[in-house]
Chains A and B, each alone.
Chain A
Amino acid sequence: MRNIEKLLQGYPEINDYVIRKRHTKSAEWFFIAKKLDQSRRKEVTYTNVKVFVDDLKGKHRGHAEITIYPTHTPEEIKELLHEAVLSAKLIKNEIYTLPMETNLEFKQDVKENIVEAGLEIIDFIFDSAKKAKGEVNSFEVFVNHNTVEFLNKNGLHLNYSTQDCYLEMIVNAQTPTEEIELYKEYNFGSLNKESLGNQFNALFTEAKDRAKAQPTPKLEKADLILSNDNVEALLGVYENSTNAAALYNHMSNFTMGQDIQEKAIGDRIDMTMLSALEGSIYTSPIDAEGVILKSSNVIENGIFTQAWGDARHSFYMNIAPTGSLRNVSFKGGSKSIKELESKDALEVLDFSSFIVDPSTGDFSGEIRLGYLIKSGKKSPVNGGSISGNLLTLHHQLYLSKETQRANRFEGPVKLRLCGVSVAGIQ
């Protein structure tokens, strides 16, 4: 990295630069039921270099980013850096500056145990399935250990390491006439057996319920209850719409200071973007440009109080940069899960894919497993779809008091949204 820095110092026109080197070792396993399909190992290193060049009048700033591979020759590296500087000169964005922050003490040295961690996860999956009498169709386990070195022109220099896990799981259940499946994926820093075990148990139960499900009735409109990762996906509209880049590029329906839930009769949103969250795979104290991450209260009681974002777009929006935050916390709401489920509703636990447009608030998804709640009775349903727009419906949004923490998200376990369109089957 110091060699690259030396080459960059040969370009006096460069106003800022950041260099980030990441070495990743990973162990991966692919299972079909109890039999191993194959295993994989990975060892890769990438050096990302981003250069910033201001024009002579100080009105514009351009940037360009390149990736240097370990097999690039010194001549290739020189050529890539030269191209990056030329490209940055051609980019005419409004001028902005990066914060001069160098005072950061951060030590994180996670011991590499990718093989042991992977084997522990595999054993846990088999044990959990056995205990729950659940049927695993197939699963994939990835464990990555990352060593990161970062430095920028201001002198910020960090070395740290992380380890993260990814698990894709497909489970089956039998109906009298066919076999059905459910799909889930999990991201976590290290194995929390209690948390993951609860999620597995829920998944096996859901698979059995899908096997008993009846076609979703033609409801046209219904109150929708969402849970777990679908809550995170839907509330992601608030994260995106309060980001400085979205505001600058007119990709948000919100403005700072706005009561975003005008005339709300349900729960009001309280959202904080976080620099760190226990259990999250996002543990870096800085973003890709070296901005030291700072937590920020963004939406308070339904009022959009403060935007968040990277250095460039924060500069444009005249706000203090928080850095590109990845973790988020939503406060729980006024009703317990029991209360949310006490009135008639369609609760959807699993979609083929829950699609949320983070700019417009449009959402939709085909129902793989839902529960029709009618007069206090829950019946499993599947097929058909739901659709709606969060921003036109969130005046009647209710969040559960109970909260969850899953990877980068902390917030209500369930939410209830009134007046969602349902394309049922019969």
Chain B
Amino acid sequence: MNDQSSTYLNSIRSDLKTIISELSQHFEYVSVLATDSKGKAFGVRTRSMDIRDFMGERGMVFRALCQGRVAEVSINDLKLSVPMDASQKVIDLFRDQFELQERFESYKAELSDLESTTLEVIKQAKIPFGAKSTEQKLDFLSDIVKEVGKKDARIVNTVVQYMEVTVSKLFISTKKDLLQSYPWSQGYIAILGKSDSGIRMAFNAVSGMKGLELLDELRGIIDESVQKLNDTLIATPIIPGDYEIICTPDITGLIAHEAFGHGVEMDMFVKNRAQAPQFIGKPVASNKVGMHDGALGFEQVSSYAFDDEGTLAHDTVVIDNGILKQGICDALSASRLKTVPTGNGKRESFERKAYTRMTSTYFTAGTDKLEAMIASVKKGYLLDGMESGMEDPKNWGIQCVLSRGYEIIDGKLTGKVAGPIILTGYVIDLLKSISMVSETIELSGSGFCGKGHKEYVKTANGGAYIKATARLG
């Protein structure tokens, strides 16, 4: 796959500027985001294989403001050969909407680009996606499947997936002309095993703003993945209750994301769907907790130069020493809240609305050693294996589903495993209970994040090992 910048976007850049110039004669603000992202997923299982398109898109979304009202048009078959005809089609789709909008009272917004910005960021992978042929990639994955299959007789199916994506986006408004292109990739090994209690699955993943170098990382997690399957197969149901917990960076990231990340998405402030505004400047976690979000913070699957509304990427300090400092914000919400956007306006694709979304969200490092953290636990679990999570910013509940908990009694791992586990509680209680934080942080971005139950985008989460108390069931 070609990981260079998009020929298509470069070919339409001039025409889009003409169209934006024409549209700006009719509306107080206009912009367009054009996308041309390409991706492939290569999958090999014990008994089958496939190749499919993955996260590819090519289209454009126009945004216009008229007397403060906001409308958008997503389109992928706009004929640009005659820019004036294209402009007229978009104008008609906007006019129709603005006429209908008069039936309703509207939330007004004001968007203006104060400064002219031109930016072109083309990131290359260390090893480009094109450095291996499709056949070589399939062979590589097939070898992993075979190697895994030999390691445990209880394995009934191994699924190895490798996905590679080149994102290319062009944003144009009357004052902005931004182009970016970057690669990211992810891979996972999912192993299904059968025991007396039935089918169980262990999942292990790698990801990053990377090219084919990720394949070696994927091969490097084979033994760890097989061990995770073994631990999952021997796991027994947990006795529900409150426990001391130590979270692996994977689970720390899930908590950062679900417990607080969603709670500081400021489009939820506009809707009065979050408690966070009442806590700005106040303690929301123990003083050992720091939290960041930003596309600039780390090079992961959601790192970019500008967001889908043309706002340059930030690194936002959300929590510092346990104090809530600020939220993250898209451009429209920032306008309505009279604040500045933080580069978090993201769309599932050009077809969808922009919402405030997380990028790389993580708890900062502490000073504790993992061994000392385990030794400090009287009765609890070391939690591992992120499965899913759900936010409730309005009432600050949290739900995290995990694969496994390794039992710790009197400071020692007993070898017993519980699972699957659901972690629930009140966010502030959970974050204030964090008493130890380890020295190094890790981020992973193999999953997708939804807004409610839709609008899936790539995000990365992580942090250090943390010790806390939580309700497990």
- The chain A residues found within 8 Å of chain B, CB to CB, are 28, 30-32, 34-46, 63-67, 69-72, 86-87, 90-94, 115, 119, 137-138, 168, 170, 178-181, 183, 185, 218, 220, 248-253, 351-353, 355, 357, 359-362, 364-366, 368, 383-387, 391-392, 421-425
Contacts and interface: CB of A to CB of B under 8 A. Distances in A.
Given A44-B351, A137-B273, A250-B199, A383 B397 contact: yes
Instruction: Among B103, B392, B422, find the residue whose CB has the most chain A CB atoms closer than 10 A.
Output: B422
A144 to B, nearest CB: 11
A35 B107 contact: yes
Contact of B192 (A40, A41, A250, A368): A250
Given A36-B107, A423-B422, A366 B74 contact: no
Contact of A44 (B59, B138, B401, B473): B59
A355 B387 CA distance: 10
A353 B473 contact: no
Interface string B226-239: 00000000000101
B198 A253 contact: yes
18 contacts: A32-B270, A37-B106, A45-B77, A65-B52, A90-B138, A92-B49, A137-B273, A168-B452, A168-B454, A249-B45, A249-B46, A351-B399, A352-B424, A366-B397, A385-B240, A385-B424, A387-B237, A425-B471
Contacts of B107: 32, 35-38
Contacts of A34: 104-105
A355 B454 CA distance: 15
Given A249-B47, A422-B240, A181 B424 contact: no
B279 interface: no
Contacts of B56: 67
A181 B273 contact: yes
Contacts of A91: 49-51, 138
B34 to A, nearest CB: 10
A253 B198 CA distance: 6
B91 to A, nearest CB: 12
B49 A41 contact: no
Instruction: Among B70, B104, B157, find the residue whose CB has the most chain A CB atoms closer than 10 A.
Output: B104
Contacts of A38: 69-72, 107, 332, 353
A384 B48 contact: no
Interface stretch (B93-101, B112-120, B247-255, B295-303): B93-101
A87 B54 CA distance: 15
Interface in B349-396: 351, 353, 387-388, 390-392, 394-395
Interface residues of B, number: 76
B53 interface: yes
B424 A45 contact: no
Instruction: Among A91, A138, A361, find the residue whose CB has the most chain B CB atoms closer than 10 A.
Output: A91
Contacts of B50: 63-64, 91, 93
B135 A71 contact: no
Nearest to A384: B424
B392 A39 contact: no
Interface in B13-62: 45-53, 56, 58-59
Interface of B: 8, 45-53, 56, 58-59, 69-77, 93, 96-97, 100-101, 103-107, 134-135, 138, 156-157, 192, 194, 197-201, 237, 239-241, 270-273, 332, 351, 353, 387-388, 390-392, 394-395, 397-399, 401, 420, 422, 424, 426, 452-454, 471-473
Contacts of B453: 168, 185, 353
B199 A252 contact: yes
Given A30-B353, A39-B100, A181-B273, A368 B471 contact: no
B77 A71 contact: yes
Nearest to B267: A37
Given A44-B75, A181-B394, A35 B104 contact: yes
B93 A41 contact: yes
B105 A35 contact: yes
Given A119-B100, A138-B271, 11 more contacts: A40-B73, A42-B75, A44-B76, A71-B8, A90-B135, A94-B47, A137-B271, A250-B156, A252-B199, A353-B390, A387-B473
Contact of B58 (A30, A71, A366, A425): A71
A416 B104 CA distance: 44
A65 B40 CA distance: 10
B394 A180 contact: yes
B473 A386 contact: yes
A423 B471 contact: yes
B473 A423 contact: yes
Contact of A41 (B73, B194, B395, B422): B73
Contact of B399 (A31, A42, A138, A365): A365
Contacts of B388: 353, 355
A35 to B, nearest CB: 5
B120 to A, nearest CB: 21
B422 A70 contact: no
A422 B198 CA distance: 22
